[in-house]
Amino acid sequence: MEKLYGGMEGGGTKFVCAVGTGPDEIIDQTRFATTSPEETLEQAIAFFKKHDIQAIGLAPFGPLDLNPASPTYGHISATPKPGWSNADILGPFRRQFNLPLAFDLDVNAAAFGEYHWLPENRSLDSLVYFTIGTGIGAGILINGQVVHGLTHPEAGHMRLPHDRQKDPFPGSCPFHADCFEGLANGPAIGQRWGQPADTLPPDHPAWDLEANYIALAVANVIYTLSPQRIVLGGGVMEQLQLFPLIRRKVHEILNDYIVSPTVTGSMQAYIVPPGLGKRSGILGAMALAKNSIRS
């Protein structure tokens, strides 16, 4: 029988837990609301206890302490989410399970999932996964591994040119106002246009402006990391009309400076929606679990 892995994707509004061998075989799955850390983690632990699993991948929202040498390794760091600052995520699992436990940021798990489970990505050695939803984050994968570095990348907070004449919206980020996240997350779209992002029609000018910001961020990532593929996921990217707009704008911004057939062509296979759809995060958490046994 194939080995079973557990995955936990911990979001600010809901947690998803799954057990299976991979994308084709999820034998059990559950989701529940994010309440207090104690109650939420207890529910996750109770779910995994029902199964004979080999390893668990934990992929909560951040920011996280990913440094194994730190006394607060496995904790969430300072977060605006009430009750969750300094919450110990890994500790309760360590106390309950004598199993390999992988711990990484939700968006890092999503990047790793897209790489690990998909043959078209597995042949690459670099990939960037952006999630554009309530927040904006990026998982950066280089040589088959997600980048941690100092803490972990926070590419969602990069600065972008902001033409206040064209877009007077001051930005929604509590730390930087008009960083990428502040200009382009779901709440920013809602506040700028006075109605929730998911209610704006596909031909609304909101999407051209949104594509501008995303294209600027994507171009910055192309210049700095030279990734072989860029995956764009999260609730906002359910507006599929954004993809051709972003590809065209990235092409204009690069202005033929990067000489590679991958970006001088249509970019259809370069800037793509998640191959795992909405399951990148949870399947990525399972991939981290699987990988923790091998490494």
Two structure tokens written together for 254 = 């690069």
Nearest Cα residue to 8 out of 281, 221, 294, 292: 281
Nearer to Zn ion, 103 or 180 (CB): 180
Residue 134 found at the interface with ligand ADP (CB under 6 A)? yes
Applying CB under 6 A, the span of 150-158, 196-204, 264-272, 283-291 interacting with ligand ADP comes to 196-204
What are the angstrom distances between the C-alpha of 268 and each of 226, 246, 256, 273? 17, 11, 17, 10
Residue 20 found at the interface with ligand ADP (CB under 6 A)? no
Q: What are the residues facing 100 on neighbouring strands?
A: none
Locus of tokens 């390893």: 55
Applying CB under 6 A, the span of 11-19, 79-87, 107-115, 152-160 interacting with ligand ADP comes to 11-19
In the complex, the smallest distance separating the C-beta of residue 281 from ligand ADP, rounded to whole angstroms, is 8
Residue 159 found at the interface with Zn ion (CB under 5 A)? no
What are the angstrom distances between the C-alpha of 187 and each of 149, 190, 194, 206, 274? 29, 5, 10, 12, 22
Nearer to Zn ion, 14 or 81 (CB): 81
Residue 22 found at the interface with ligand ADP (CB under 6 A)? no
- As to burial, measured by CB atoms within 10 angstroms (0-12 exposed, 13-18 middle, 19+ buried), residue 20 is buried
Alpha helices for the chain (secondary structure H): 37-49, 90-96, 106-117, 119-122, 180-184, 186-193, 205-225, 242-254, 261-264, 280-294
Nearer to ligand ADP, 54 or 191 (CB): 191
Residue 208 found at the interface with ligand ADP (CB under 6 A)? no
Residue 157 found at the interface with Zn ion (CB under 5 A)? yes
Residue 191 found at the interface with ligand ADP (CB under 6 A)? no
CB 205 within 8 A of CB 197: no
Nearer to ligand ADP, 97 or 193 (CB): 193
Among 19, 179, 230, 289, binds Zn ion (CB under 5 A): 179
Nearer to Zn ion, 107 or 288 (CB): 107
CB 217 within 8 A of CB 206: no
In the complex, the smallest distance separating the C-beta of residue 242 from ligand ADP, rounded to whole angstroms, is 9
Among 63, 235, 244, 273, binds ligand ADP (CB under 6 A): 235
Would you tell me the crossing angle of helices 205-225 and 186-193 to the nearest 10 degrees? 150
Among 51, 148, 176, 278, binds Zn ion (CB under 5 A): 176
Total residue count of the chain as it appears in this document = 295
> Where do contacts with Zn ion occur on this chain (CB under 5 A)?
157, 173, 175-176, 179, 181
> Where do contacts with ligand ADP occur on this chain (CB under 6 A)?
11-13, 133-135, 186-187, 190, 196-198, 234-236, 238-239
